[in-house]
Amino acid sequence: MMSADPTMTYPANGSPEPVGGDRIVIPGGGPVPMVLAEAVHKSFGHLEVLKGIDMAVMPGQVAVLLGPSGSGKTTFLRCINHLEKINGGRLSVDGVLVGYRQRGEKLYELRDREVAERRRHIGMVFQQFNLFPHMTAIGNIMEAQVQVLRRSRSDARAKGMALLERVGLADRATYYPSQLSGGQQQRVAIARALAMDPKLMLFDEPTSALDPEMVGEVLDAMRDLANAGMTMVVVTHEIGFAREVADTLTFMDAGLVVETGDPREVIANPQHRRTQDFLSKVL
Amino acid sequence: MSTIEQAETDRGLPIKAVPVRHPGRWAAVAILLLLAAMAANSLITNPKWLWHTFAKYVFTDAIFQGLLRTVWITGAAMAIGIALGIVLAVMRMSPNPVVKTVAWLYIWFFRGTPVLVQLVFWAYLAQLYRYLSLGIPFGPQFLFFDVNELIPVIFAAVLALGLNEAAYMAEIVRSGILSVGKGQTEAAEALGMRRTMLMRRIVLPQAMRIIVPPTGNEVISMLKTTSLLAFVAVPELFTTAQNIYNSNYQMIPLLMVASMWYLVVTTILSVGQFYLERHFGRGVAGSRQQRAKRRLATMGPA
């Protein structure tokens, strides 16, 4: 199981701005993990989906979550930006607790406004893209910049066009999502998330809903992002992507982390039976 | 020439085939034309339709004024109904239990009592409360109104129709909101949007596609419901026609006058609805817009 080693150094990802107070302090004064999960529990009614997840993602790292369906990896990812509320343990992003404020020993639930404020620093890309169908590609990318960050429309447009250029879709700016292929939609969704200048990007099976020939273009966009130093947590079944791009690979099963480590190491030489079983089926 | 050669030269040419014949359609058209001719014959030759009376009143000032009043009362009542309906729908889906219950009670009450009863009630509210004041109960009053001055019958009527409509609109809007996938809300939340903003910018514009067609129904229904204003003596279109036939006893032609104008307004509204649907359908399905365009070209507005 992985522990947050404060002595390890990683490429810094810009300068992560603190959002509010309550920053946790790492003993020894090392870098603060971008994502730090300690014994995270999550239940839906009586069904316990996460049974104590420990994980740390340092700034600039790409962490891939792997595991059979129902293992809780998507749920864990959704907990990171508070789309799901955790029932136990601690979860912090860039040293700030997710969903709560701590005063002394007491935890206080955050108001909607504060949750929204923290979410805007975390980008998320969904399996089903979830582009806004009533807006064009550029409209999708401008929307939250204008409405949430209060950027001027011209600034938002310029930023949006630059991002579309980056994902290779500048010529599709005025297309509606229904006029784009799945791969193109997902790249627009990535650009939309990047427009908020996130310090962390979450990817929830970004290629699972795509036709096989479109998987590559989305993975390429993600690879570029990783090379640019973005901190990323990626739930995916793309073993090749994990091997080439990820800094850590975490294998989950039945709500627990089974093993974690260097992706090439884990893939080539899995230590646990469940990891071996899973990899033998997908490789 | 062998058959294979034949087939090769034919490759990719447009198919020339005899289309399926539809004799049933021709028979139906013939029967309908016959029935239409019989109806027209009856309308023209039976003197009791009193077409000269119809012609005399159809373009009169009194009728026009009634029509105008019908139209603006419909518009005002629907404006209240739609605005309040959206608020109620969002309230009903709120996580706040107090707000949710208030919306539920409102819909329960205004949908559960006849609109005519509500109309008459509001019109005669002045008899129940002579004065309205805003202040602390049993304490000082800050605002003071004479109800008889505040609510002339026509405004009471608009208010009654609007408040009643809001209950129905709330359910229509709610069904529209429910039709928008959860992924849309989550994507907006992940971008840092708050509830009111994501409702206004993301969910409601998409819900409009579902909301517009039944709302068109409601507008047309409201147009005709305004005829209930005859009960509180507001001279809208039907009341005006009624007033005329009460004095000249020529009921049928005047009912025809009123019906014709209701039909004219309904037709105009239907055209408006077509364009609204096309506007809110943008982006969702390009083919849908094209289908709609074809429909307009071949059949005219529905």
Identify the residue among A143, A147, A159, A174 best suited for mutation to test binding to B, counting B beta carbons within 10 A and taking the highest: A147
Give the per-residue pLDDT at A262: 94
From A119, A134, A192, residue closest to B206, measured CB to CB: A134
State how far residue B286 is from chain A, nearest Cα, in angstroms.
Answer: 7
Residues of B with CB under 8 A from a CB of A: 181, 183-184, 186-195, 197, 201-202, 205-206, 280, 282-286
Pick from A212, A250, A237: which is nearest to A64 by CA? A250
From A112, A189, A192, residue closest to B195, measured CB to CB: A112
pLDDT digits (tens, 9 = 90+) for B124-160: 876 666 667 777 777 777 777 776 665 578 888 899 9
ipTM over 0.90: no
Strand residue runs (E) in chain B = 131-135, 141-146
What is the chain A residue with the closest CA to B187? A130
Contact (CB<8Å) B187/A124: yes
Give the per-residue pLDDT at B126: 63
In the three-class reduction of DSSP (H, G, I as helix; E, B as strand; rest coil), residue A49 is classed as: strand
Contact (CB<8Å) B191/A120: yes
What is the chain B residue with the closest CA to A177? B283
From A81, A133, A147, residue closest to B193, measured CB to CB: A147
Residue B173: burial class (beta carbons within 10 Å; 0-12, 13-18, 19+): buried
Q: Model pTM?
A: 0.78
Q: What is the enclosing helix (H) or strand (E) of B78?
A: helix B61-92
Terminal-residue alpha carbon distance, chain A: 23
pLDDT digits (tens), chain A, 283 positions: 444 444 333 334 443 444 444 566 666 667 889 999 999 999 999 999 999 999 999 999 999 999 998 899 999 999 999 999 999 999 999 999 998 888 888 889 999 899 999 999 999 999 999 999 999 999 999 999 999 999 999 999 999 999 999 999 999 999 999 999 999 999 999 999 999 999 999 999 999 999 989 999 999 999 999 999 999 999 999 999 999 999 999 999 999 999 999 999 999 999 999 999 999 888 7
> What domains does chain B contain, in order, with CATH numbers?
53-129+146-291 (1.10.3720.10)
Instruction: Say which residue the tokens 């014949």 belong to.
Output: B21
Question: Which residues of chain A are within 8 Å of residue B280 when distances are taken between CB atoms?
Answer: 134
Given a cut of 70, the residues of chain B with pLDDT beneath it are: 1-10, 126-131, 147-151, 283-302
Give the per-residue pLDDT at B232: 86
Give the per-residue pLDDT at A16: 41
State how far residue B185 is from chain A, nearest Cα, in angstroms.
Answer: 9
What is the chain A residue with the closest CA to B191? A120
Question: Which residues of chain B are within 8 Å of residue A176 when distances are taken between CB atoms?
Answer: 282-283, 286
Pick from B167, B168, B150, B161: which is nearest to B227 by CA? B161
